[in-house]
A and B are shown apart, each in its own frame.
Chain A
Amino acid sequence: MEQLIGHYRVTGKIGEGGMGVVYRAHDEVLNRDVALKVLADTPLIESLGKDHLLHEARAGSALNHPNICTVYEVIDDEGTLYIAMELIEGKSLTALIGQTGLPVESVLRYGVQIAAALAHAHGRRVVHHDLKSANVVVTPDGLVKVLDFGLARRIPAEASADQTMTFRTPGSPGEVSGTLFYMPPEILRGEPGDARSDLWALGVVLYEAASGELPFRGKTAFEISSAILNEMPPPLPSRIPPGLWAIIQRSLAKQPSERYQQASEVKAALEAVESASITGAQPASQPTAYRTTVSRGTRQLRINNGDVLLMVGTTKGAFLLRSTSKRSRWEVAGPYFHGHGVYAMAYDDREGRHRLWASTSNYWGTFLRSSDDFGRTWTNPIEANVKFPVDCGTSLSNIWQILVGNQDGQVMYCGVEPAALFESRDSGGTWSLVRSLFDHPHRPRWTPGNGGLALHTILQDPVNPQRIYIAISAGGVYRSDDGGSTWNARNRGIRVVYQPEKYPEFGQCVHKIVLHRDRPERLFLQNHWGLYRSDDAGDNWQDIAGGVPSDFGFAMAMHPHDPDCVYVLPVESDEFRCTPDGRLRVFRTRNAGGSWEALSRGLPQKGAYETVLRDGMTVDTLQPAGVYFGTRSGQVFGSSDEGKTWKSVISGLPSIVCVKAVVIGEPRAARSESRRTRRPVRAKKKRAARGR
């Protein structure tokens, strides 16, 4: 075995990595043992290895830090490259972690040292790009050494694909480097990585060290990639302090901008948790702050495919109601989020999910919560997931709307108070403010209505997802035709009654807008006084209020299968926001506003001074369609025959602010197709045209 390479005498083999074999050797000149890495003899490495190894050596030799394996020199021996580096006696972090993970103290101690190594390298514009537990060695006295800056490149990097090929992952445009389990979303998306990619990998290593498990798992490269891109890491065991869990979660934010921006920040945070102590009179009772099981006697639902689920948000919590497709009897679960206002709820069934969303708001702030098990457990984020950047000079009051995007499997939107739009491109994992709307020159002149200055309605064109509508009370309707990059007011023809100018460009107090997926260029609008329709995507609006007892109202719902059919629930006036004459009546048009009919069979017609708020009415997608509404007095009424007859679904709830209906297990595309099959839309349109 003893072979002389330059002034190194090889004494044994240590191991093999992806790019090279590492030998133990003795430096005959300086009389010290070293590790000698030699290029392995494979076709791939023959094509890539020499440059790569040279690069490794150059990157590594620029770094001199106690937590980084020192590179001594590079030897080119007749075309074969060798790297002489510090010989480290110890165990890999992978081996130390084992099946159950390390004690918290060790996770913190090693984590601080890895972060220190990265901070040093990043400070010299070197990114590791292949950080993983196998690349971290811990010496018997607890010193951490980060090995193998073998994929490192300088920042800014020349995008050099041939430098980073190791294996292919589905869904990425090219080939990506490193070990997939540690790979950040941006690399999987084919974007260039930077120092924050190393911080993601550090988050994976910390998670692994804390639990013995990897945060993103799967049997195939596709499953792993999908988990990295879409899923949140499972909660860590209860022994992990919330401070460490928070550091890991922040490191594993899908968007690099949401992570720590520098390794030194991670180091400081780990040190703070390391040096701090929590003392308490009571033992920890909650396993983790990240996901909490809803308890306190809350009844849970068992949901079957084909069931109708009503999500009811109130000023004091949320309720879930389940029925079969007959919709004759309803099973109730809740309240969830005791005492929290739940102004927005949504259901995401894309990509096989069954995810409920709710916004919760109370003394302690406003948060988006989700449940993948129909309410048995809900996420409880450590940090507010929707919040204004510090430079905005404002703070979130409430989340009024959650929209699950209708095309891409990842996009979601939130409408909030004060009026602003937030967007998520990772199924609600991370959210960012839509700056183009926040910076709109009209914004300083939007004025709050009685309920505050809220962006309460978001519609995405089902055919052209780049077209998005939002409605603000009081700001009016705005439309984007470029996916939210630019916004234009779309309020021509909508009258205001509370200022001298009756038809301003913007400033209308719009209460609700709706559209139908089969005719998305047509919109209906319930204004603060006024019912309107637009046939040209909001460019112009015409009054369609003839035939309703009052054109003041909040709620509006679109029939799921008929683009000419809309439901409204008028209230008497601005001053007396209750149903006229104490009669609870829904009004329906089946000819796009040409005429309206009262629907009252089964609804109280005496002494019923009710108010239904802007998100208080909804429809399901069954045939015949179900229509539902919830009142401020805590009653839910439902119709399973498109509004002909009504029944009380439940009463005695807190004041209802939103009602959403969904049919479980009916894929969106299938729903759309079935609608077209069930109802000849074109014939219906002609009828409507004749009617007008």
Chain B
Amino acid sequence: MAIAFQVSAALRPFAGGRDRVEIGGSPSTVADALEALWILCPGLRDRILTEEGQIREHVNLFVGQENVRYTGGLATPIQAGTEISVFHAVSGG
């Protein structure tokens, strides 16, 4: 089964107008999956990660139901069929 990203509405213009992007290959970590995602949807990279390659402060990635900040960050392992969701955090003023 393919690995899929679910992206929030603000990012859809950079995902071909879709809210769901499936990637090929067999990435073993979130970082690997993101690398595959950038190739398909390069506009997502600078919106999800900083120049230093860190997840933006107010962006959250979930593998299944778990926020990757608590499961190993970008090194969080994934397997076939994993769904990764991208949300912005509850923040702002």
- A278 and B22 within 8 A (CB): yes
- A393 and B14 within 8 A (CB): no
Provided the pairs A365-B46, A383-B46 are in contact, do residues A388 and B51 lie with their beta carbons within 8 angstroms?
Answer: yes
A246 within 8 Å of B (CB atoms): yes
Q: Within 8 Å CB of B11, what residues of A?
A: 364
- B88 and A364 within 8 A (CB): yes
- A-B residue pairs, 10 tightest by C-beta: A280-B18, A284-B17, A395-B50, A272-B39, A246-B42, A363-B88, A364-B47, A384-B46, A382-B43, A363-B58
- A273 and B46 within 8 A (CB): no
A277 within 8 Å of B (CB atoms): yes
Provided the pairs A243-B42, A364-B56 are in contact, do residues A392 and B16 lie with their beta carbons within 8 angstroms?
Answer: no
A250's nearest neighbour on chain B, judged by CB, is: B42
Q: Within 8 Å CB of B51, what residues of A?
A: 384, 387-390, 392, 394-396
Query: Once bound together, how far apart are the Cα atoms of A126 and B29, in whole Å?
Result: 39
- B40 and A279 within 8 A (CB): no
A29 within 8 Å of B (CB atoms): no
Q: Within 8 Å CB of A273, what residues of B?
A: 39-40
- B46 and A281 within 8 A (CB): no
From B43, B58, B59, residue with most partner A Cβ within 10 Å: B43
Q: Within 8 Å CB of B48, what residues of A?
A: 364
Q: Can you spell out 22 A-B residue pairs with CB atoms less than 8 angstroms apart?
A: A241-B40, A242-B41, A275-B24, A278-B41, A280-B15, A280-B16, A280-B21, A281-B18, A281-B20, A282-B17, A284-B16, A289-B43, A292-B13, A315-B93, A363-B10, A363-B59, A363-B89, A365-B47, A382-B42, A382-B43, A383-B43, A390-B51
Q: Within 8 Å CB of A367, what residues of B?
A: 46
A276 within 8 Å of B (CB atoms): yes
A392's nearest neighbour on chain B, judged by CB, is: B51
Q: Chain A interface secondary structure, helix, strand, loop or mixed?
A: loop
- B56 and A276 within 8 A (CB): no
Query: Once bound together, how far apart are the Cα atoms of A278 and B16, in whole Å?
Result: 8
A285 within 8 Å of B (CB atoms): yes
- B42 and A242 within 8 A (CB): yes
- A277 and B46 within 8 A (CB): no
Smallest CB separation, B56 vs chain A (Å): 6
Query: Once bound together, how far apart are the Cα atoms of A135 and B74, in whole Å?
Result: 44
Query: Once bound together, how far apart are the Cα atoms of A457 and B15, in whole Å?
Result: 36
B20's nearest neighbour on chain A, judged by CB, is: A280
B58's nearest neighbour on chain A, judged by CB, is: A363
- A280 and B39 within 8 A (CB): no
A407 within 8 Å of B (CB atoms): no
Q: Within 8 Å CB of A283, what residues of B?
A: 17
- B52 and A272 within 8 A (CB): no
A269 within 8 Å of B (CB atoms): yes
- B52 and A282 within 8 A (CB): no
A380 within 8 Å of B (CB atoms): yes
- A246 and B43 within 8 A (CB): yes
A268's nearest neighbour on chain B, judged by CB, is: B39
B19 within 8 Å of A (CB atoms): yes
Smallest CB separation, A384 vs chain B (Å): 4
- A387 and B20 within 8 A (CB): no
Query: Once bound together, how far apart are the Cα atoms of A363 and B55, in whole Å?
Result: 11
Query: Once bound together, how far apart are the Cα atoms of A383 and B49, in whole Å?
Result: 11
B23 within 8 Å of A (CB atoms): yes
A286 within 8 Å of B (CB atoms): yes
Set B4, B39, B89: member contacting A276, Cβ < 8 A:
B39
B57's nearest neighbour on chain A, judged by CB, is: A363
Q: Within 8 Å CB of A384, what residues of B?
A: 46, 51
Q: Within 8 Å CB of A285, what residues of B?
A: 12, 17
Query: Once bound together, how far apart are the Cα atoms of A390 and B49, in whole Å?
Result: 12
- A276 and B24 within 8 A (CB): yes
B31 within 8 Å of A (CB atoms): no
B89's nearest neighbour on chain A, judged by CB, is: A363
B36 within 8 Å of A (CB atoms): yes
Q: Within 8 Å CB of B54, what residues of A?
A: 395
Q: Within 8 Å CB of A387, what residues of B?
A: 46, 51
